[in-house]
Structure 1
Amino acid sequence: MISELNQLDFDKVKHLTDSCRNIEVRAVMSGLNPGRIYVDDATNITAALIWIQGQSGFQLIGDAKSAPFRKELHGFMKKHIEPELLNLHMQSVEISVTDGHWEEVLQKMSGSRDVAGDIQHVFLSSSVKGWMNTISQTACSSLYTSQYEDVKVLSIEEALLKEKLLNQLSLLKDKISHFWITAEDFLKYGFGYIAVHNDDIASVCLSAFVADGMHAIDIETIEVYRRRNYGALVVLAYAEECKARGVHPYWDCSPSNTGSIRLAKGIGLSLDFNYKVYWYDLIK
């Protein structure tokens, strides 16, 4: 019977998450990042549905032939999960999988609603030392022209989060709370940088998920500051911090996000693997 695990029991799915390449899953399992875990049988776990709060989506892991998931997941979603998603004003359910074996489960899970799908790219580094030595000269040289003389790149520290003179500070705090249980957890396990122009936070790059010496990157540039390379400023600072700490950056983006792909390649990352994402509407 499908049930939800208590957070103290999240380690019971470790045997499933160890082989999953998506670090968001392992970050939730370890308790560093917020989420919930639903399993097919609490006494003999062979499959799990993991709610990844920071992604506002789910991931299926384990045995796609799990009988409880095949028979019960649709009803469990309708009764226990979808009402909560609607209360959060979410209009669709998004589920990531590592292979196509889950498609039958997904079709049953969605009921009569149409399921759409696409792929996501994940860019990684081969080694901390190696990838930092391959940061493109174009990416670096473009950051130090005169147009950036009035821009400050600041590390996200405790004092900065209390700074009252910065505009859009609430956006930064909301972003941290979206990915992390507390700001203290972020400051202890993650790090990040902001680009500031005239007391405006123009761009943010920070650790969204952390697991096994890897940091999944989240980056956002305020709309009025886009297409000015401010994202490249914070990404380069973040990459240099990764090198100093000896951690590997993990960059997840859609194939259509050419700007994000350009930034990933600009700090020497390369496409490592793809995974599938499916979604269906809640309101139909």
Structure 2
Amino acid sequence: MIELSDEEYIRVLPLLKNQAYEPVFAYSVIDHNQSGKVFVDHRENPATSLIVNSYGQYLLAGNGSDEHFMNDIVEYLLNEQNHSTYYDLYVTTPELLSLISERLAGRTVLLHRSSFTFDPSRFQNLKTTLKALPEHYVMKSMDDTLFNKYRNEMDSSYDSLWNSSQHFIERGFGYCIMMNDHFASVCNSFFVGGGYADIDIVTVDEYQKQGLATLTGAAFIEHCLKHDVVPNYNCDAGNQRSIQLATKLGFVRNYDFPMLWWHQDKIIISNYLEKFNYSNQ
């Protein structure tokens, strides 16, 4: 495979046009906001590309006509040393999905994601009904201290998303609701690129059902609108709670699309499939 240099990443942008969902994780690599690699079949005028975000989100884009390149991609995907513990493989066309699925048969599972379009008017309607932050809770913007606290106490995977707290502050953003110096609800930018910011909302179990996720999500969206960034939302098609939250925040569910998932821990795969009702399909 040919690996492009940082300066050459923009050559694959034409392959990402007219998608039914926004692959923000791929844009984040192309825009040099988050780390990754870009592989192509031809350096000057690529027809197919594999965009690898270091977090484990991969995009296969193009026509897949180069048999040699497709074989190289399969070899790359089958080599577990190229991944941390998992990868999510997104594709840009049904034809590409068919091509790669055949080659990865038995090695990955098929999942479905729901994509959403942000509707500013719905969000404005939400703002008129938002409840005040409950007493004793405090809303804060994520600074470097809070970011380090978050990745140390709640989500160590953020080390793969952002190289440092300073990197997050420079290229990302987030909001959190605190209770006595403890996180209650957090909404961070997962990926940032192409003019979009992916939303990642987490509410600690003991603080759920108080509307906190809606409040942190609304603060995040307000930040996006103020800085000319489009908020972006997607989740597993079986995650009804997440779909309901997206709808409440002003997003319109518009498309469910397939993707392939590999994880080295088969128990995690089994639990995930059961949690989101794939076993009943």
Distance across 1 between alignment mates of 2:138 and 2:221: 17
Relative to structure 1, is the Cα distance of residues 173 and 187 closer, same or farther in structure 2, using a 3 angstrom cutoff? farther
Which residue is 2:47 aligned to? 46
Measure the CA separation in 2 of the matches of 1:169 and 1:77.
28
Which residue of structure 2 lines up, in the alignment, with residue 133 of structure 1?
Answer: 124
Q: Quick one: structure 1 residues 169 and 283, their matched pair in 2 at CA, closer, same or farther if it must change by over 3 Å?
A: closer
Q: Please give the alpha-carbon distance, in whole angstroms, between the structure 2 residues aligned to 1:259 and 1:194.
A: 19
Q: 1:125 to 1:253 in 2, by over 3 A?
A: same
Q: In 1, Cα distance between the equivalents of 2:3 and 2:256?
A: 28
SS for the counterpart of 1:133 is: helix
Task: Indicate which of 81, 84, 108 corresponds to 2:82.
Answer: 84
1:120 aligns with 2:113: yes
**Matched residue type, 2:60:** L
TM normalised by structure 1 equals 0.79
Cα distance in 1, alignment partners of residues 263 and 143 from structure 2: 39
Change (3 A) 1:175 1:115: closer
Q: Name the CA shift for 1:134/1:175 in 2 (closer, same or farther; >3 Å).
A: farther
Task: Report the Cα offset of residue 264 of structure 1.
Answer: 1.3
Residues in 1 aligned to 2:35 and 2:47: alpha-carbon distance in whole angstroms: 22
Question: Amino acid of the residue matched to residue 52 of structure 1?
Answer: N
Q: TM-score, normalised by structure 2?
A: 0.80
Deviation at 1:72, TM superposition (A): 3.4
Deviation at 1:155, TM superposition (A): 0.6
Correspondence 1:65-80 to 2 at 5 A = 65-78=65-78
Describe the shift of the 1:119–1:136 C-alpha distance in structure 2 as closer, same or farther (beyond 3 A): farther
Quote the Cα distance in structure 2 between the aligned partners of 1:117 and 1:267: 28
Match of 2:13 in 1: 14
Superimposed CA distance per residue, residues 69-101 of structure 1 (whole angstroms, 9 cap, x where no aligned partner): 3343323434xx42232xx3x1x5431123311
The equivalent residue for 1:59 is 59
Q: State the match for 2:274 in structure 1.
A: none
Structure 1 residue 3 displacement after superposition:
2.8
CA positional deviation for 1:193:
0.4
**Structure 1 runs not aligned, ≥5 long:** none
Question: What amino acid is aligned across from residue 231 of structure 1 in structure 2?
Answer: A
Instruction: Kindly state the Cα deviation for residue 157 of structure 1 after the two structures are TM-superposed.
Output: 2.3
Equivalent residue, structure 2, for 1:101: 95
CA contact (8 A) 1:215 1:249 kept: yes
Amino acid at match of 1:63: N
Q: 1:236 to 1:270 in 2, by over 3 A?
A: same
**1:187 positional shift:** 1.6
Q: Post-superposition shift, 1:196?
A: 0.7
CA RMSD in angstroms, aligned pairs only: 2.8
Q: Secondary structure at the match of 1:135?
A: helix
Aligned equivalents of 2:248 and 2:25: distance in 1?
23
Is residue 253 of structure 2 the alignment partner of residue 271 of structure 1?
yes
Percent identity, aligned pairs only? 22
Cα distance 1:173–1:40, how it changes in 2: closer, same or farther (>3 A)?
A: same
